[in-house]
Amino acid sequence: MTIVTMAQNVPGPVAVARLAAAGAVVTKIEAPWGDPLEGLCKPWYDELHAGIAVIRLDLKTGDGIRSLTDLLGSADVFMASHRPSALLRLGLDAPALSRRYPLLRHLNIVGDTAHPDEAGHDLTYVAKAGLLQDRLPATLLADLMGAERVHSAIVEMMHHGPGGQRVVGLFDALETLTAPLRHGLTAPGGALGGGNPAYGVYAAQDAFIAVGALEPHFRARLYGALGLADGASLSQVFATKRAADWEAWATALDIPLKAVRAAD
């Protein structure tokens, strides 16, 4: 498959990198100043753009638009991550391109399909979904879930033959992630939200440990090995050893427990 993409930041490049790794021929169109991701995290940008041709064009000029549309004439998929109003101004909206290139598939990534022209980023979509606490997340939930939807949408479009249009919303992609919270499972005090002492995060002497003794046999083994009554608090006993020691202890007893480590 041949892809021409203008999608920048994280969701589009992550999805396109997977498609390129599977054999797609990809041309990435960037503004003259480049993709913001390159300035934020060049190693990741370089990783995601390996084997991808990057062309910088000023789409506010006739020459820039002509260069882009020349590429679209032989492409299977055109991908963008722009507000619909911006694509409309550039003449790159789905209806306009389908009239000129009826075989071209069109996919646009927006923040929220209910409000596609509203400004936002991963952090604001996660906040809106109720998944943000009082610190920055360790990963980009909306962006990466959105990338999965983009990848699936393009594969689906290719199977359905030429033409076709898709809009992928980053906020929409969080729906699956919010289900445990919406149903109370991970809400404060819920079964996986602090209401079960055998499933939680505890402070050891030097770090934190994650305990996942959810099934009855794991829970019984955990409390039996610690010499505690079922349901007793685990905070004091876990504070008596180092995290690595608890991890080794749990591995020997086949108990789900791991030290909390910083991401590499």
pLDDT 10s digits, 192-243: 999 999 999 999 999 999 999 999 999 999 999 999 999 999 999 999 999 9
pLDDT at 52 over 90: yes
SS3 assignment, position 211: strand
Instruction: Look at the block and give the residue holding tokens 């249009």.
Output: 165
Q: How far is CA 227 from the centre of its chain?
A: 42
Backbone phi, psi, residue 73, to 5°: -60, -25
Strand partners, 107: 79, 166
Instruction: Look at the block and give the residue holding tokens 């923040």.
Output: 111
Return mean pLDDT, the chain: 96
Residues 169/146, Cβ–Cβ less than 8 Å? yes
SS3 assignment, position 55: strand
Region 32-36: mean pLDDT is 96
Residue 156's pLDDT is: 96
**What are the tokens at 117?**
């022209």
Residues 51/20, Cβ–Cβ less than 8 Å? yes
Whole-number Å distance between alpha carbons of 167 and 93 = 11
pLDDT at 262 over 80: no
**What are the tokens at 218?**
């794991």
Region 172-183: mean pLDDT is 95
Residues 55/67, Cβ–Cβ less than 8 Å? yes
Q: What's the burial of 180, exposed, middle or buried (CB within 10 Å: 0-12/13-18/19+)? A: middle
* 130 DSSP assignment: T
Structural domains in the chain, sorted by start = 2-179 (3.40.50.10540), 199-259 (no CATH)
**What are the tokens at 145?**
């879930």
Instruction: Kindly write down the DSSP assignment for every residue of 247-260, as one continuous string.
Output: HHHHHHHT--EEE-
Query: Distance of CA 10 to CAs 49, 139, 171, 188, Å?
Result: 11, 11, 14, 31
Residue 227's pLDDT is: 97
Residue 216's pLDDT is: 97
Residue 263's pLDDT is: 65
Q: Residues 145-176: pLDDT tens digits?
A: 999 999 999 999 999 989 999 999 999 999 99
pLDDT band of 264, cuts 50, 70, 90: low
Query: What pTM was computed for the model?
Result: 0.89
